[in-house]
Amino acid sequence: MTNPKVLILDEATEGLAPLVREEIWQGLEILKQRGESILVIDKNLDALLRIADRHHIMEKGQVVWRGDSPELAGDESLESRYLGV
């Protein structure tokens, strides 16, 4: 697709080799630097913290938290409450 308005990725790195996953994350960082709009649904918190401006955590179909990367990284209770396996 040429000139999309938004790129939506749902677990785009799931099951891939670590090197391939890292290439995808690097590609997303490049797209972000170019000003592209990207919506990413993923479990890789470290990668998301590097590239995302805003985060939304959902539980049972409801948004239970929203904020930016520094807020998410600074609240350890969120990871144990919502993001743990």
Residues 6-33 have pLDDT tens digits of 999 999 999 999 999 999 999 999 999 9
Total domain count, the chain: 2
Same domain, 35 and 58: no
Is residue 76 over pLDDT 90? no
Judging by beta carbons within 10 Å of its beta carbon (0-12, 13-18, 19+), is residue 69 exposed, middle or buried? middle
Same domain, 1 and 36: yes
Domain that holds residue 6: 1-43
The answer as to whether 75 is a domain residue is yes
The answer as to whether 48 is a domain residue is no
Instruction: Provide the whole-model pTM.
Output: 0.80
Same domain, 27 and 2: yes
List the beta bridge partners of residue 41.
Answer: 10
Mean pLDDT of the chain: 91
What value, to the nearest 5°, has the Cα angle with vertex 13 and ends 9 and 18? 155
